[in-house]
Amino acid sequence: MKKISLLLVDDHMVLREAMRALLATEADLEIVGEAENGRQAVELAGQLQPDVVIMDIAMPQLNGLEATRRITKEAPNTKVLILSSYSDDKFVQDLTEVGAIGYLLKQSAAPEVIKAVREAAKGKSCFSPSISRRLFDQSRPGFLKGGERPMKQRNSLALTSREREVLQLVAEGKGNRQVAAELNISVKTVEKHRQHAMDKLNIHDTAGLTRYAYAEGLIDSTPGPSAVV
């Protein structure tokens, strides 16, 4: 029997350990790698080509949204399953738009997580029950007067991949030179991407960028991981 290969992605070691312990009990599942940030996740997904990536959203260096976007493009046979504490419709919409096959909340019960992993490996969508109910309600004709209820749109999708990456690093407190060194681009290029992002978002200072990044889940404002098991 071919095992389902998994890549765990979360910046909290305790949560990765809990997930590893949970999934290791299943004979048909095999953890082939772990990543603590989105950039490492993209690299490992390309190298390992796992069947399923279990992805957090708010992580340092590169957030789960951008990591998912890159993985689904660079490793099209790999399915990305989101496991997050964020439950807002805007996060569900954005992650599914960039290719995530499912979205679970971190308070999900262990059997639900295991089932979702198996469904994702088969190419089937899987969502936490509370999210599924909202998606169903929003798809019903006449849910609101005038037809379907659209999910809330987010300005972050109007940014380019590089602009989102620069925005996150700036919001994490890195200066232009640090960002340039980390992304291997010039300081002038960083300044250009930073200004373009601010113009698109109508934000005028670094504090505003940081508040926006917290609100959008690009950086983590929570003190620690949620329980999975």
DSSP character string of 48-60? H--SEEEE-SS-S
Average pLDDT, consecutive stretches of 10 residues, N- to C-terminus, the chain (229 residues): 94 94 95 96 96 94 92 94 88 88 92 95 90 64 43 58 85 86 90 89 82 74 43
Per-residue confidence (pLDDT) for residue 30, from 0 to 100: 97
Architecture of the domain made up of 155-216: Orthogonal Bundle (1.10)
Between CA 113 and CA 128 the distance in angstroms is: 9
Q: Is 49 left (phi over 0), alpha (psi -120 to 50) or beta?
A: left
**Three-state secondary structure call for residue 6:** strand
Per-residue confidence (pLDDT) for residue 138, from 0 to 100: 59
Angstrom distances, CA of residue 151 to CA of 2, 113, 137, 139, 194: 38, 25, 11, 10, 27
Per-residue confidence (pLDDT) for residue 137, from 0 to 100: 61
What's the CATH number of domain 4-139, 3.40.50.970, 3.50.50.60, 3.40.50.2300, 2.40.50.1070? Answer: 3.40.50.2300
Sequence ranges of the chain with CATH classification 3.40.50.2300 = 4-139
2 in Cβ contact with 51 (< 8 Å): no
Beginning with the edge strand found earlier in the chain, give each strand of the sheet holding 126-127 in spatial order: 29-35, 4-9, 52-55, 79-84, 102-105, 126-127
Per-residue confidence (pLDDT) for residue 171, from 0 to 100: 81
Per-residue confidence (pLDDT) for residue 200, from 0 to 100: 87
Sequence ranges of the chain with CATH classification 1.10.10.10 = 155-216
Angstrom distances, CA of residue 219 to CA of 49, 59, 190: 26, 6, 19
Would you list the DSSP string of 67-107? Answer: HHHHHHHH-TT-EEEEEES---HHHHHHHHHTT--EEEETT
Per-residue confidence (pLDDT) for residue 21, from 0 to 100: 95
**Claim: this prediction has a pTM higher than 0.85:** no
